[in-house]
């Protein structure tokens, strides 16, 4: 039997769930794994506790690699995007002189106001609207009104914008960390590298984020979306309308979701499965249309010619839902979606999604790709409203009390299948490792 636990302590959890019944003096880990009994449980206070939420911002988001954006979003000198990561405002900008991608804390070194105020654009300089201190795209302080008031001792270099501690890019995906001692990005990504490569190599590395973004809020804990994004178990029941739609089109669903899940290390995980449902053409039909079978066959043959039968067919035929811990999802399905979710409170998150596509693809293919992006994964598509309803329903159910633990044991007694929960256990083991005893609480009385 193994049990995930630690010895150092943070303040005890205080939530409606734990306060609902008299407490005992027993202490317990919030993630409990018993391999002998094939049991894996997560305490529901992980989803409701303000103390756990505050500890996550410090222990998880301040010490993980966080996706900031894609290099294609800042392709020209001075291009920038403003993003919140880990509860902190930052902005990414391509330096006009160095050509380097910089990620800065979005705060003026004078009195703290936000410096980059627009979500995206191009700028030679960033001027704080409060007192008009001005910084260039390399972060250097370039101008101060009435500088003579400071005498001749003002150190402009010391008052430049502060870069985030670590910034690295992997094949266009830019990650930042507030931890200067975090491992290098390739080591951090671990097995997720293989799955990013499958996406990027399928177009010879020429990928770009399409302009435009989906943004919405979910009244649920952020970890529920981490679970949901790689959960094959819920597909048939939750997305019943979509499957009925496919049946109405004449799609053969007899094979179900055929695939498996993998623990990729460092909390990353993937769900990989054949398109509905095992037909080579099925993955691309929403993108190209049923009347484009010859073109699809040609493209598939080209991938296999360039990458070999095994790897080429994985690119062409298989779907992948990839979770890069803690809060980045890359869905390589009927469209390639890049999605992040930022915790705002124990029961609230902001979600942002972009579409990744081959650079310079034909206009008609780009239009179909965007249609696929919206039809299934958009805020009003087939899948996303279902998922939002399910996650918010879970969050509402947690407030009822009476049940302490979520069960995430499915598949522990066998080789994991696509509809098992091994991939979610990978996420929770990493979360528990980072959190230590954060959120230790008291059991409900029996």
In angstroms, the CA 124 to CA 116 distance is 12
- In this prediction, residue 5 carries a pLDDT of 34
In angstroms, the CA 437 to CA 5 distance is 7
* Bridge pairing between strands 134-136 and 125-127: antiparallel
- In this prediction, residue 382 carries a pLDDT of 82
DSSP code per residue over 225-246? HHHHHT--TTHHHHTHHHHHHH
**For residue 69, which of 356, 378, 371 has the smallest C-alpha distance?**
356
> Low-confidence residues of the chain, pLDDT below 70?
1-28, 246, 249-257, 275-292, 437-446
- In this prediction, residue 18 carries a pLDDT of 35
- In this prediction, residue 14 carries a pLDDT of 32
Q: Which of 181, 213, 246 is the last residue of a domain?
A: 181
Residues 136 and 214 grouped into a single domain: no
Look at residue 224 and give its three-state secondary structure: helix
What is the chain's alpha carbon radius of gyration, rounded to the nearest angstrom? 24
What's the first-to-final CA gap in the chain, in angstroms? 23
In angstroms, the CA 46 to CA 424 distance is 14
In angstroms, the CA 436 to CA 429 distance is 11
Quick check: is 430 in a domain?
A: yes
| Total number of domains in the chain | 2
In angstroms, the CA 324 to CA 56 distance is 16
Quick check: is 58 in a domain?
A: no
Residues 172 and 275 grouped into a single domain: no
Residues 387 and 316 grouped into a single domain: yes
Residues 231 and 324 grouped into a single domain: yes
Contact 82, 121 (CB under 8 A): no
298, containing H or E segment: helix 293-307
Residue 278 is classified by DSSP as: S
* Bridge partner list, 167: 176
- In this prediction, residue 109 carries a pLDDT of 97
Locus of tokens 């980072």? 434
Residue 163 is classified by DSSP as: B
In angstroms, the CA 391 to CA 388 distance is 5
24-47 per-position pLDDT tens digit: 334 568 999 999 999 999 999 999
389 CB-near residues (< 8 Å, 6+ apart):
none
Q: Which of 156, 181, 206 is the last residue of a domain?
A: 181
130-150 per-position pLDDT tens digit: 999 999 999 999 999 998 898
Q: What is the domain range of residue 417?
A: 191-434
Query: Residue 312: phi, psi to the nearest 5?
Result: -65, -40
- In this prediction, residue 445 carries a pLDDT of 32
- In this prediction, residue 167 carries a pLDDT of 98
In angstroms, the CA 317 to CA 333 distance is 9
CATH number for the domain harbouring residue 145: 2.102.10.10
Quick check: is 37 in a domain?
A: no
Quick check: is 352 in a domain?
A: yes
Residues 366 and 262 grouped into a single domain: yes
Q: Which of 181, 202, 217 is the last residue of a domain?
A: 181
Residues 161 and 242 grouped into a single domain: no
Residue 402 φ/ψ region, left for φ over 0, alpha for ψ in the -120 to 50 degree band, beta for the rest: left
Query: Residue 17: phi, psi to the nearest 5?
Result: -65, -50
């Amino acid at each position: 039997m193994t049990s995930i636990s630690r010895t150092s302590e943070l303040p005890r959890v205080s939530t409606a769930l734990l306060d609902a019944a008299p407490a005992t003096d027993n202490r317990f880990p919030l993630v409990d794994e018993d391999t002998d009994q094939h049991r894996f449980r997560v305490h529901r206070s992980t989803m409701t506790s303000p103390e756990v939420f505050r500890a996550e911002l410090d222990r998880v988001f301040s010490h993980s690699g966080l996706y900031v954006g894609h290099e294609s979003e800042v392709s020209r000198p001075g291009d920038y995007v403003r993003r919140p990561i880990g509860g902190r405002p930052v902005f990414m900008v391509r330096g006009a002189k160095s050509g380097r991608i910089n990620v800065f804390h979005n705060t003026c070194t004078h009195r703290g106001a936000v410096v980059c105020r627009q979500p995206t654009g191009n700028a030679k300089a960033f001027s704080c609207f409060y007192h008009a201190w001005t910084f260039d795209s390399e972060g250097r302080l370039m101008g101060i009104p009435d500088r003579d008031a400071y005498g001749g001792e003002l150190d402009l270099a010391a008052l430049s914008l502060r870069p985030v501690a670590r910034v690295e890019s992997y094949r266009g995906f830019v990650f930042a960390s507030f931890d200067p001692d975090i491992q290098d990005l390739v080591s951090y990504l671990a097995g997720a590298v293989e799955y990013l490569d499958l996406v990027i190599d399928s177009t010879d590395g020429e990928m770009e984020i399409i302009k435009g973004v989906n943004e919405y809020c979910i009244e649920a804990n952020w970890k529920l979306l981490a679970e949901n994004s790689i959960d094959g178990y819920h597909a048939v029941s939750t997305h019943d309308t979509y499957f009925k739609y496919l049946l109405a089109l004449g799609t053969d669903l007899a094979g179900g979701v055929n695939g498996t899940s993998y623990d990729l290390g460092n909390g990353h995980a993937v769900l990989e499965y054949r398109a509905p449902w095992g037909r080579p053409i099925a993955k691309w039909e929403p993108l190209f249309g049923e009347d484009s079978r010859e073109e699809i066959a040609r493209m598939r043959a080209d991938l296999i010619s360039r990458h070999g039968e095994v790897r080429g067919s994985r690119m062409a035929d298989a779907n992948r839902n990839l979770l890069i811990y803690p809060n980045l999802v890359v869905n390589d399905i009927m469209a390639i979606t890049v999605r992040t979710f930022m915790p705002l409170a124990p029961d609230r998150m902001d979600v942002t999604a972009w579409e990744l596509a081959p650079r310079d693809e034909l206009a008609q293919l780009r239009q179909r790709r965007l249609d696929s992006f919206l039809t299934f994964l958009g805020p009003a598509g087939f899948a996303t409203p279902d998922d939002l309803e399910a996650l918010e329903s879970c969050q509402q159910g947690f407030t009822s009390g009476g049940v302490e633990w979520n069960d995430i044991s499915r598949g522990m007694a066998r080789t994991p299948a696509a509809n098992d929960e091994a991939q979610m256990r990978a996420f929770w083991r990493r979360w528990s490792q980072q959190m230590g005893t954060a959120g230790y609480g008291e059991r409900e009385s029996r």
